[in-house]
């Protein structure tokens, strides 16, 4: 299994921040990584991060603070 993140704007359109396309061996690794980088991704124009497991959507989350 390959875990990845897909990044979107608020309207659902794709965003590709530079240097942020990572692949992870497990869900925990992917979640740790997003926890460490979400602020920079938000600064780069990402509104939503979508966690994928071999291309299957697991969940999505906003990168804006509540």
Q: Please, are residues 17 and 41 in contact by the beta-carbon 8 Å criterion?
A: yes
Q: Which two tokens stand for residue 57?
A: 């959507």
The string of pLDDT tens digits covering residues 30-63 is 999 999 999 999 999 999 999 999 999 999 999 9
**pLDDT digits 0-9 by tens, 10-31:** 999 999 887 666 899 999 999 9
Domain containing residue 32? 3-62
> What is the total count of domains within the chain?
1
pTM of the entire predicted model: 0.90
Q: Is 30 exposed, middle or buried (0-12, 13-18, 19+ CB in 10 A)?
A: buried
């Amino acid at each position: 299994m390959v875990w990845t993140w897909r990044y979107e704007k608020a309207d659902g359109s794709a965003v590709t921040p530079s240097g942020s396309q990572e692949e992870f061996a497990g869900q925990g690794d992917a979640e740790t990584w997003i926890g460490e980088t979400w602020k920079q991704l938000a600064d780069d124009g990402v509104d939503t991060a979508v966690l994928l497991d071999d291309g299957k959507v697991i969940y999505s989350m906003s990168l804006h603070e509540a």
